Amino acid sequence: MEALEVFFEIHTDLERESPGRDRYTRQAFQMLPELDRPSILDIGCGPGAATMELARLSNGDITGLDFHQPFLDRLSTKIEAAGLSDRVKAVHGSMFEMAFPDESFDIIWAEGSIYLIGFEKGLTEWRRFLKPAGYLVAGEVAWLRQDPPEELSLFWKENYPGIRTIPENLSLIPACGYEVIGHFTLPEDAWWVGYYGPVEKRLQGLRNKYSDNPEALAVLDAEQTEIDMYRKYSEWYGSVFFLMQKGQRESSKE
């Protein structure tokens, strides 16, 4: 069995694919100016928790983008059940190769997904898809302290070497052609209630199923290690919402 298959079995039918809760999606959205019928792109939408909350929060047209079709199938079911097919859609695609026309969206939303492409690269490459003075909202893992223990430092060096401190990310925002609107750090319940808690419960069940499959168990171990790291070291890192507005000047990186 391929490791990716086991990964997706772990994550099948979860409500979220990253730390978060509807209340924090609302908190971030309410920090933006009110827009009438905004066009919103939710990048790496997963099964669509944030997509659906954005639809409830606005009267806009929402596009949820993800590369994993089963996630999109779940989102499509939610859209139909809520009667929102006229303004919310699930689109199969990669954040690395988006084919939308330039200046298509008032808001780009990336709640816990931008790490896949990298914070700086995402800000730089996605900027062209925003309308003039459009908004980008990204949930990114960041150091909360500058003195991580060696075990934790090695873990992130292996899994996401691009992790930075909050001030470092804030300094990147204007360098990439945006103005900072605000930021806030998610509390620990955002990690446990809708994400790590359900994942850890799923891992316990799958260990029995794959007790004689070393490759599958290695995937389960990697997921458990990630959870254990946060349980042990949550004061050193967290998930941070960064809100920004596309600046008038052209970015030096374009």
pLDDT digits (tens, 9 = 90+) for 50-83: 999 999 999 999 999 999 999 999 999 999 999 9
Asked whether residue 56 is assigned to any structural domain, the reply reads yes
Asked whether residue 193 is assigned to any structural domain, the reply reads no
Give the pLDDT band of residue 1 (cuts 50, 70, 90).
low
CATH number (domain holding residue 64): 3.40.50.150
pLDDT digits (tens, 9 = 90+) for 95-135: 999 999 999 999 999 999 999 999 999 999 999 999 999 99
Asked whether residue 74 is assigned to any structural domain, the reply reads yes
Q: Between these two residues, 3 and 131, which has the higher pLDDT value?
A: 131
Mean pLDDT confidence for 30-34: 97
Q: Beta-carbon neighbour count of residue 61 at 10 Å? A: 17
Q: Which residues contact 122 (CB under 8 A, 6 or more apart)?
A: 95, 110, 114, 138
Asked whether residue 198 is assigned to any structural domain, the reply reads no
Q: Exposed, middle or buried: residue 184 (CB in 10 Å: 0-12, 13-18, 19+)?
A: middle
| pLDDT mean across residues, the chain | 95
